[in-house]
């Protein structure tokens, strides 16, 4: 099960944003791997901004870094440079960029004057959100290695990137700490998605056996 309308939205994004953007990157001479690395560097910059308490700027920069992930695959297909190593590199740097933001948020919690039970709670839910998010992505890769191709799940990487970026922006505009609760929501829904995707892979494997 996936969110209703997700594939329609992805098709529209591909037609109106991914393909035109990939053409622009191709015109300036960037390669798909260069875009992958650029996106990772931008996510590192976002993590640094967040760790220093600049949540609004960090959220905007992270959305830019996450958005760049739309173009490397499209450019690879368009230019005929798609390769197994390029796909591997894209997946690895996507995971590292997302993990970097979680590290940045962890440093922000430690430096932000939170103490006692609040700090313990914030760090705990951050770690849970990180672990469940990474395992959801791992399940897709592991399933594909077993011949079960699925993108099922309520909370995929696209939703996480949008929620994290928008959440940081909203937190930066308010006096109330929103990110701990956003991370809690990501942890809970990602945990649900983990079992949802595992069940989908199990069903595909049974059909193929």
Catalytic residue selected from 69, 72, 94, 152: 94
Is 69 labeled as catalytic in the residue annotation? Answer: no
Distance in angstroms (rounded) separating the CA atoms of residues 66 and 200: 26
CA dist., res. 161 & res. 178, Å (int): 16
Contact in structure between 75 and 22 (CB atoms under 8 Å): yes
SS3 labels along 149-184 = CCCCECCCHHHHHHHHHHHHHHHHHCCCCCHHHHHH
Contact call for residues 201 and 146 (beta carbons, < 8 A): yes
Q: Write out the catalytic residue numbers.
A: 94
């Amino acid at each position: 099960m996936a969110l209703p309308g997700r594939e329609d939205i992805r098709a529209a994004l591909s037609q109106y944003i991914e393909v035109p953007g990939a053409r622009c990157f191709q015109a300036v001479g960037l390669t798909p791997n260069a875009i992958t690395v650029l996106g990772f560097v931008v996510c590192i910059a976002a993590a640094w901004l967040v760790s220093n308490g600049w949540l609004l700027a960090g959220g905007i920069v992270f959305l830019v870094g996450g958005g760049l992930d739309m173009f490397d695959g499209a450019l690879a297909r368009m230019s005929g440079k798609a390769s197994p190593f390029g796909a591997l590199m894209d997946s690895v740097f996507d995971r590292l960029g997302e993990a970097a933001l979680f590290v940045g948020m962890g440093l922000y919690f430690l430096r932000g004057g939170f103490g006692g039970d609040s700090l313990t709670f914030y760090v705990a839910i951050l770690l849970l959100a990180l672990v469940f998010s990474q395992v959801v992505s791992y399940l897709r890769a592991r399933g594909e290695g077993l011949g079960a191709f699925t993108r099922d799940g309520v909370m995929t990487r696209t939703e996480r990137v949008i929620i994290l970026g928008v959440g940081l922006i909203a937190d930066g505009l308010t006096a109330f700490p929103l990110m701990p609760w956003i991370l809690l929501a990501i942890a809970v829904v990602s945990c649900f998605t983990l079992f949802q995707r595992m069940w989908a892979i199990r069903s595909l494997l049974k059909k193929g056996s």
